[in-house]
Amino acid sequence: MPAPSAVRGPRLSRPSWLSPRVLRTETLAGLVVALALIPEAISFSILAGVDPRVGLFASFTMAVTIAICGGRPAMISAATGAVALVVAPLVRTHGVDHLVAAVILGGLIQIVLALLGVARLMRFIPRSVMVGFVNALAILIFVAQVPHLLGVPWLVYPLAAAALVIMVGLPRITTAVPAPLVAIVALTAFTALAHVAVPTVGGQGELPDSLPTLGLPDIPYDWQTLRVIAPYAFGLALVGLMESLMTAKLVDDITGTRSSKTRESWGQGVSNVVTGLFGGMGGCAMIGQTMINVKTSGARTRLSTFLAGVFLLVLVVVLGDVVAMVPMAALVAVMIVVSATTFDWHSVAPATLRRMPWGETIVMVTTVAATIVTHNLAIGVVLGVLAAMVIFARRVAHLVEVTSVLDPDGGTRIYSLYGELFFASSNDIVTRFDYASDPDHVVIDMSAAHIWDASSVAALDAIVTRYAAHGTTVEITGLNESSARMHATLAGQLKVGH
């Protein structure tokens, strides 16, 4: 019998974030993100037409909840401009309580969509749309900083330039401390000690001085209320999921790791439900802050996301007076660097554009243009995907070939079809047959073709009908199992033009 000391239980692996180096990186990254979240949350609150507290509390509850429930570690979720744009009309017409109800309902819709497998739709988003998404986002991040650089004291410009120098130069010397944090602390200390009058975080809106409280919205719980909030809830759910899944895929590419898109989908839903119960305005993944966390600060675990939320609450509630002193020039400089590092410069290089197929470039430009015009990433992505579908259909439509040979006895002509038959390609094949001159028997060999839709079956029916008008019989052969099943089900059942 072995000695008691020889009996060992299974060895538990220690979480990576417990190592001192990783813990320091995650903590400092969370602090930098929290500082960057404050002016963004205030701005989005104003955009939505609500008190700044609503956006700040939403950012806290979203970040903390998604850190636990989300499927993409190190991704930041908080109050966002896309969600603010969706819910702003509801706030104007019905008030904050209806907004909160819409956020809760939107979260429940996201959970249902996650269970239905909506995350699997990500596979249909082509690379050119992803590149357009990233580039549009970088442009929007930069454009959002421009108002903070117009009509301001001249000292804002040297302060912003100094912050840019720190963030570009410091990483070449050391990466022990995130450069954005050094820039923020340095500029805050300088403006405070030198008594420099420049725009600060405090000037963006009143910071909360108490913790958020749990409760339900004060609304009539009836069908009329549901009819009012349902359209906004669906909009919030779809926009939030689309932006979050796109951002998760981007982080996957940057970190070289995989994430659970299904878990991220229902995690976003849970986060919005929790946020609504605490009176927040809802939100989704924030690519700007995520890039600060992942790309600029080097965070890789859930701890940075969790601490970003915790630090945000501590900063605005406990240290609100100190945070209010942070000059906007420092945060603007941080976001400009994020914009520059987010943009895919390789995608617009002349050498790349010369090699890239014209269709890929059109899809990317469509995504960027639609996003910038609408200021809505979801609309840009949808239009980009639609453009990619049209270009793909147009390209594939011309890949169908029809060849023919005459049987040695002269009594049969054999046509062979090659390619994918669907609505865009099947319409042309009707004109590729010689109805008047062919012999009495025609064979259409489909061994190298595939039928994808009813339009293709209708085209084959039209061919058979035209031949019948000339007294010619048609035999269709070589159908694969799927094509044969569709043809057997629909042939003769569709209206065919003569």
Non-local (6+) Cβ contacts of 374 within 8 A are 380
Helices marked H in 156-260: 156-173, 179-193, 223-255
According to the model, what pLDDT value does residue 497 have? Answer: 46
Least Cα distance to 490 among 463, 456, 443 occurs for 456
Tokens of 74: 């190190």
Q: For residues 305 and 286, give the distance between their C-alpha atoms in angstroms, rounded to a whole number.
A: 11
Non-local (6+) Cβ contacts of 274 within 8 A are 61, 65, 107
> Across the strands, what pairs with 444?
415, 476
Give the strand order in the sheet containing 412-421. Answer: 401-406, 412-421, 441-451, 473-477
Place of tokens 């995504």: 367
Tokens of 286: 């924030």
Non-local (6+) Cβ contacts of 1 within 8 A are none
According to the model, what pLDDT value does residue 448 have? Answer: 93
Please state whether 366 falls in left (phi above 0), alpha (psi between -120 and 50) or beta.
alpha
Measured CA to CA in angstroms, residue 227 lies from 105, 129, 220, 441, 468 at distances of 12, 34, 12, 62, 55
**CB contact burial 39-50 (16+ within 10 A = b; e otherwise):** bbbbbbbebbbb
Q: Are 42 and 24 in contact (CB under 8 A)?
A: no
According to the model, what pLDDT value does residue 498 have? Answer: 40
Helices marked H in 302-376: 302-317, 320-323, 328-342, 350-355, 358-374
3-state secondary structure 270-304: HHHHHHHHCCCCCCEECHHHHHHHHHHCCCCCHHH
Q: Percent helix, strand, coil in the chain (nearest 5)?
A: 65, 10, 25
pTM of the model: 0.71
- The H or E element that residue 449 is part of is strand 441-451
For residue range 89-139, list pLDDT tens digits in order: 899 899 999 999 999 999 999 999 999 988 887 777 888 988 888 888 788
> Using the 8-state DSSP alphabet, how is residue 413 labeled?
E
Measured CA to CA in angstroms, residue 32 lies from 171, 254, 311, 360 at distances of 15, 19, 9, 36
Q: For residues 438 and 475, give the distance between their C-alpha atoms in angstroms, rounded to a whole number.
A: 14
Tokens of 14: 């220690």
DSSP 174-185: --SS-HHHHHHH
Q: Are 336 and 146 in contact (CB under 8 A)?
A: no
Q: Are 291 and 20 in contact (CB under 8 A)?
A: no
Low-confidence ranges of the chain (pLDDT < 50): 1, 5-7, 496-498
Place of tokens 């035209």: 466
430 Cα distance to chain centroid: 41
Q: Is 414 helix (H, G, I), strand (E, B) or coil?
A: strand
- The H or E element that residue 407 is part of is none
According to the model, what pLDDT value does residue 108 have? Answer: 97
* Phi and psi, residue 410, nearest 5°: 80, 0
Q: What is the end-to-end Cα distance of the chain in Å, rounded? A: 91
Q: Is 403 helix (H, G, I), strand (E, B) or coil?
A: strand
375 Cα distance to chain centroid: 14
